[in-house]
Structure 1
């Protein structure tokens, strides 16, 4: 088939509960050999781009700088030199966005990301006041929970919801399933893009709304969502990402 841009979700698709899904790395190799462009996308909002690429490579998933797209990358591309940003996130992401820290004047934007290490009332209150004073609220993502090796954990969306509720303002979401995230990650016409993920509320929703081809894997959150009749339906369903090269090869 004609070469496609393949966006592969990270957690739940290439990796599950801290372990690489069997056959995931080989699938990427085969897709590239077939001429497809492969990028990894994730709503991970706790790492800089460089640190995340290193982490993924240590798991023997073959990616390079520029091939991993996150909400932090989206934020850096969307902000302008005049933006003054208050960042409610842990140190690594704050440092990655430090070029937009407000030297003087009120913030123009409040960015909320993973703040498990540093969240406290003064920081939450400062974000609330800035948004009430007119700063745009940017959510790196708004997941309700995420899965780790030791179980499920509260995600960034809960913190975003608190600021929205208190300020009466809605956040602009930079992570999936937002159109901004898809456009920046794909960098190609939607008809040429395949989105592969485990989560119908983010991966599949984003693909379907953008007009891309959606593929759900039966790993990650698949079991949690299998019986939910009100969630978006994928175009294709496969057992795991290891089956993706064969699916693509079978297309006309």
Structure 2
């Protein structure tokens, strides 16, 4: 097997309820020692790349700038210098868009994690902007996310409210968008691309759409989805990220 590009989901795969999954750091180091390229790709939309890299590194997981791909990174690649954006997100994400801070007649409305700042006037401003022709961009479409204190409403629910009120469909920038996969993977052909995650509605579905090999871990949302019907089926299933190097090696010698 030639060297692979392996995209690892963050929450539920490398990290669970705010703590690293046992063996996650060692698995990444083993894969890199074997010559594979490992990147973290995540629907995290609550902070910019640099802050997220620092957070991940504090948990002992070896990543660097340029190795973590998020919907915020995708949005910055989609926008142009002429874009004027209205950002429904907390300050950590809003600050990632300094050059597009003119909110008069926005060309785009970007919706991300806005737990700390969401209010009716802010939601109403987004509604009016989309009605006036701004493109609605969803950093991600998750229904809920898991944290140390339990499950919480996610960005997708806010996006759905604006879609319903305006009759417009958002352009999804995060998982399971095939565009997100292409931006994260670059020019790597599908037969050299592996996607590893816990969520069949995002990670595994996106891998299928992009023709990549998919691996589901039995952590994170695995149990929530175990009995669900009609979801994308992974190519492989492993107990946790700790077992990924052995799976990759086994496939290499087949």
**What stretches of structure 1 move > 6 A for 4+ residues in a row?**
none
The corresponding residue for 2:122 is 123
1:228 shift after superposition: 1.0
Q: CA deviation at 1:180?
A: 1.3
CA distance in 2: counterparts of 1:163 and 1:33, whole angstroms: 46
Q: How far is the alpha carbon of 1:99 from its aligned partner? A: 1.4
**CA shift at 1:192, angstroms?**
1.1
Deviations 1:136-194 (A, max 9, x none): 00000010000000000000011000000000000000000001110101112222110
Other structure's SS at 2:87 match: strand
Residue 229 of structure 1, CA deviation: 2.0
How far the C-alpha of 1:101 sits from its partner, in A, is 1.5
3-state SS of 1:250 partner: helix
Unaligned runs of 5+ in 2: none
Comparing 196-205 and 105-114, the one that deviates more:
105-114
Which residue of the partner structure matches residue 66 of structure 1?
66
2:174 aligns to what? 175
Aligned residue in 2 for 1:144: 143
* Structure 1 CA distance for aligned equivalents of residues 178 and 243 of structure 2: 27
CA distance, structure 2, for counterparts of residue 158 and residue 24 of structure 1: 30
Matches within 5 A, 1:47-58: 47-58=47-58
Deviation at 1:93, TM superposition (A): 0.3
SS at match of 1:96: coil
Partner of 2:245: 245
- CA deviations on 1:191-231 (whole Å, 9 max, x unpaired) are 21100000000000000110000000000000000111210
Match of 2:11 in 1: 11
Corresponding residue of 2:111: 112
Aligned to 1:99: 99
Alignment partners' CA distance in 2, 1:243 and 1:131: 45
Unmatched segments (≥5 aa) in structure 1: none
**Is the partner of 2:55 in helix, strand or coil?**
helix
| TM-score, reference length from structure 2 | 0.97
Deviations 1:100-134 (A, max 9, x none): 1126x411000000000000011100000000000
Q: How does 1:3-42 map to 2 (within 5 A)?
A: 3-42=3-42
Secondary structure of 1:63's counterpart equals coil
Superposition CA RMSD, Å:
0.8
CA distance in 1, matches of 2:139, 2:28: 26
Find the aligned partners of 1:4 and 1:145 in 2 and give their Cα distance.
31
Partner-residue secondary structure (3-state), 1:116: coil
Cα distance in 2 between the residues matched to 1:33 and 1:98: 38
1:191 aligns with 2:191: yes
